Structure 1
Amino acid sequence: MPRQTMTADRIVRAAIELLDEEGLDGLNMRSLGARLGSAATAVYWHIKTKDEVVRRAADAVWAEVELPDPAATGWREAATAMATGMHAMLTRHPWLGQAFGSHLLYGRGKARLDDYALAVYERAGFTGAEADRAAATVFVFVLGSALGPAAQISLTRRLGRTGEDPEQQLADTLARSTEIALEFPRLRKRIGTTDYAAAPDSSFEFGLRAILDGFAYRLGAGA
């Protein structure tokens, strides 16, 4: 079977797979070259640094977010679809949320989504800086909502490297935190109905609806 030609696109696709499996700490040029069946020097020929690999991989995954036409669906439906798609993408690629705090990220994929968000909120009736604020509010909410699952994956990987059972370590920590929570009346009541450390079901959907309700009220359209 003929060997596939090394290209920047192939490197980025392989990097995304490696990042999904191993996180930011598991990505280096040697492991990336091995995944591609080549030496690290072959990767350097196309992309010069690890930081540039992360930047390109981060920008590529934004293309996974579907952006429906707000003229056809209405601004609120388009905003919901965009936010839901972003949340799903960030959950699939938990390393991306971490990369925001450790890498300089930019590119056409993210710019495409930012431009679309402005179009959605301008169609809703926001103008100028208000459209920017609306887009930023939803973006920060989605990013924050996805950080919990991302942190869980990252923590489990790190604990696994200690040689101990990460699931048992997490269970022990939850037990200790639950003991402390029992000292507080509202937390004690909640523990009786749900996992203390878990967010209630549909928290993301609830928060997104509340934000969009607020936008609609502010625009005078009613919630």
Structure 2
Amino acid sequence: MPRNPILSASRIRAAALHIIDRDGLDGLSMRKLAAELGVQAASLYGHVSTKDDLLHEVASEILEKVDVSGFSGGDWRHGLTMCARSYREALARHPNIVPFLAYGPAHREASLRRLDVVHGALVAAGWTRREATMIAASLMYLVFGAALSSFSSGFSEDQSLYQDRYPNLDKAHLLPAVAAELDRDSFELALNAFVTGLAVLNGRDCVAAGEAAGESAPSGSPRRTDTTAAST
């Protein structure tokens, strides 16, 4: 029996993610990864070409849990909600790698396939290609903002810091104890406002489209134009 288990791509990814979770994104190096696995650094290059390639493989594995199946029923609002919740949950398990993921899908095939589903569903629902791109980007801003910070945890538990000086923050010292619950509920509030606001815009555009066809519509109803030069 070999002293160490035989290297495999899945074992390398797991070890790399363990280091990132423990030491942060900057704490990962091929030398440290090799030591974690009990091998020489040169042994890793038969499985992964560069650290950047390895990070993309780890990212792809983490993001497999992002669920875009909600778009299959034709309800873009349900699809966005499911996607956002599952995305936040996936990132919450490994917050140290979030800065790397925040740069976008890059050349990750699975990420691009998911984005293609989102984009296609939004366009099919009547949004222009440019708007679909903006909606997907806005959703990522919301998800990654929630994953990168905890507003409630940023307060001190020392009541004297807030009492008397900030009368409207006299209970702020209680927030860290319920940070997880507040962060979740705050994300849900923002997500609901985002999707509800989009639904209002989408409905007004439907009215505007009817007006263009000769039907009555309230004055000032916005019209959408598909700026293909700016679409993706």
TM range (shorter): 0.7 to 0.9
Cα distance, 1:201–1:56 mapped onto 2, change above 3 Å: closer
Deviation of 1:80 (Å): 1.0
- The alignment's C-alpha RMSD in Å is 3.4
Does the CA-based 8 Å contact 1:55-1:103 persist in structure 2?
no
Match of 1:215 among 185, 198, 210: 198
Distance 1:186 1:72 in 2: 45
Does the CA-based 8 Å contact 1:60-1:109 persist in structure 2?
no
Does the CA-based 8 Å contact 1:55-1:104 persist in structure 2?
no
Deviation of 1:218 (Å): 0.4
TM-score normalised according to structure 2 size: 0.71
Cα distance, 1:132–1:7 mapped onto 2, change above 3 Å: same
1:191 corresponding residue in structure 2:
172
1:41 aligns with 2:61: no
Deviation of 1:9 (Å): 4.2
1:205 aligns with 2:188: yes
Unmatched segments (≥5 aa) in structure 2: 206-232
Distance 1:57 1:200 in 2: 26
1:120 corresponding residue in structure 2:
121
Question: Which stretch has the larger CA shift, 93-102 or 128-137?
Answer: 93-102
Deviation of 1:205 (Å): 0.7
1:76 aligns with 2:59: no
Unmatched segments (≥5 aa) in structure 1: 153-169
Question: Which stretch has the larger CA shift, 209-218 or 41-50?
Answer: 41-50
Does the CA-based 8 Å contact 2:59-2:101 persist in structure 1?
no
Deviation of 1:182 (Å): 5.1
Distance 2:114 2:80 in 1: 11
Does the CA-based 8 Å contact 2:157-2:176 persist in structure 1?
no
Question: Which stretch has the larger CA shift, 212-221 or 103-112?
Answer: 103-112
Q: Secondary structure at the residue paired with 1:47?
A: coil
The 5-angstrom pairing of residues 9-158 of structure 1 reads 9-72=10-73, 74-100=75-101, 105-148=106-149
C-alpha offsets along residues 114-169 of structure 1, whole Å, 9 cap, x if unaligned?
Answer: 212212322432121011111111111011011115xx8xxxxxxxxxxxxxxxxx
Amino acid at match of 2:193: A
Question: Which stretch has the larger CA shift, 79-88 or 35-44?
Answer: 35-44
Cα distance, 1:103–1:85 mapped onto 2, change above 3 Å: closer
Does the CA-based 8 Å contact 1:59-1:107 persist in structure 2?
yes
Deviation of 1:201 (Å): 5.5
TM-score normalised according to structure 1 size: 0.73
Larger Rg: 2
Amino acid at match of 1:183: R
Cα distance, 1:182–1:80 mapped onto 2, change above 3 Å: farther
Aligned residues: 200
Does the CA-based 8 Å contact 1:62-1:113 persist in structure 2?
no
Does the CA-based 8 Å contact 1:97-1:143 persist in structure 2?
yes
